[in-house]
Amino acid sequence: AYVNSLIERSERVAREADQRAQLAAQSERNRIAREMHDVVAHGLSVIIVQADGARYASAARPEAATEALENIALTGREALTEMRSLLGLLREGDTGVAPQPDLADLPALIDEARTSMTLEADIDEGLDAVPSGVALTAYRLVQEA
């Protein structure tokens, strides 16, 4: 009876560990799906805005249209690179993935946006104390804005 109870307990522990692993994997897939959505939605939004701007500016200011087309290409390349990085997370053994953006990456994001619009931004110091999940969410909100 004692041996049977040990076997039963061992099987239960193994099942629970397997369930925890499955839940963790599902949680990670959900996180990657949210990130993928953010990357694709932001990239396409910027591309659409730039394309509309190029179309309207092409007759009056051809140089503005050329600049907008360059921004479209740059945005598309960056979105594709980010998407490949996220998809790399789904491949077993792939470790060449860039870290997720956070509030320290806001100045670069804002500088990138300034290439296509007039933009003013004030960023407080000391944002490194913000938890990583909140920092990623705030970065994505600024990115969408």
The band of 17, judged by pLDDT with boundaries at 50, 70 and 90, is very high
Give the span between the Cα atoms of 123 and 145, in whole angstroms: 15
Task: Name 144's Cβ contacts closer than 8 Å, sequence gap at least 6.
Answer: 41, 42, 45
Give the span between the Cα atoms of 141 and 77, in whole angstroms: 21
Report pLDDT for 92. 56
Report pLDDT for 95. 47
pLDDT, tens digit, 9 for 90 and up, residues 116-141:
778 888 888 777 778 887 888 888 88
The band of 14, judged by pLDDT with boundaries at 50, 70 and 90, is very high
pLDDT, tens digit, 9 for 90 and up, residues 82-94:
887 777 766 654 4
pLDDT over threshold 70, residue 99: no
What single-letter DSSP state applies at residue 127? G
DSSP H/E element including 143: helix 132-144
Contact by Cβ (8 Å): 79, 100: no
Contact by Cβ (8 Å): 70, 136: no
| pTM for the structure as a whole | 0.47
Return the exposure string of 97-113: e unless at least 16 CB atoms fall within 10 Å of the residue's CB, then b.
Answer: eeebbbbebbeeeeebb
pLDDT over threshold 80, residue 1: yes
